[in-house]
Amino acid sequence: MTLTFNKTAYCSLLTEVAPQVIETEQEYDRILAVVEQLTFKKNRTPEEQALYKLLVTLIKTYEAQNYPMTQAAPHEILQHILESSGTPQADLVGVIGSSSVVSEVVNGNCPISKAQAKALGDFFRVSPTLFC
């Protein structure tokens, strides 16, 4: 079943969040908090997904201008997502392999395969490219 996009619901979300080009640290923190809520929300509506994409674009632009940095290693990104979502490593057993495989991947002792990246992306509802 494909969900249809509801412009009225999307306009309501836009009114509630009032996204704009991020120019201050305060605005960055506010938008980041909304994105974090949406990131870990199960079963996002099409309207929430559209808002999420918009806010992520605003955040990326702000961060590129104000926090230029080198790309984090895939296992470091995984560690951050685990920590920020409060997900224990044990929850990844069966998603990407056994407990020893999970430990090796999380600690950076074993690279993340493409299949594992896809499984992690599906599990955390993020782009698998974060783990490549």
Give, as one character, the DSSP assignment of residue 97. B
Whole-number pLDDT of residue 67: 84
The answer to whether domain 74-131 has CATH 1.10.3470 is: no
pLDDT confidence tier of residue 2, bands split at 50, 70 and 90:
low
What is the rounded distance in angstroms from the CA atom of residue 104 to the CA atom of residue 43? Answer: 30
Q: How far apart are the first and last CA of the chain?
A: 31
What is the rounded distance in angstroms from the CA atom of residue 131 to the CA atom of residue 114? Answer: 8
Asked which of 12-16, 65-69, 86-90, 103-107 is least confident by mean pLDDT, the reply is: 65-69
How many H helices and E strands in the chain? 6, 0
Per-residue pLDDT reduced to its tens digit, 57-96: 999 999 989 988 777 899 999 999 999 999 999 999 999 9
